[in-house]
Amino acid sequence: MTNPSMKLIRGTLDVLILKTLSWTPLHGYGVSKSIRESSAELLQVEEGALYPALKRLEARGWLEAYWGETETHREAKFYRLTSAGRKQLQAEVTAWQRYVDAMASVLYREQPVNG
């Protein structure tokens, strides 16, 4: 039985893209494929969300784009993280870790004793 894909939580796409591009430059389809594979097929990034996000991150100076050739010898726009993007990624990871920790403290808390 396959796991159904999950909807991305608002605000997560940018950090997923930044993290994915921290490993290696990729073209848009490569970013989407990497996120899908890294999440065991649970996170699916739609084109309608991916390409506007890539443009937004590039406009903020967190990514830079260049034209290159894919593994299938097609021309594509590749993206790589800038130094500002690496700093932003670290800030995003720190913020997400705080959020996860706060959620876990509520979700896994034992029932308080009413006195």
- Cα–Cα dist 25/39, whole Å: 19
Please name each of the domains of the chain with its CATH number.
Answer: 13-107 (1.10.10.10)
pLDDT digit string, tens, across residues 6-48: 777 778 899 999 999 999 999 999 999 999 999 999 999 998 9
Angle between the 83-107 and 13-23 helix axes, to the nearest 10 degrees? 130
pLDDT digit string, tens, across residues 40-95: 999 999 989 999 999 999 999 999 999 999 889 999 999 999 999 999 999 999 99
- Cα–Cα dist 64/61, whole Å: 7
Alpha-helical (H) ranges within 1-115 are 13-23, 28-38, 47-59, 83-107
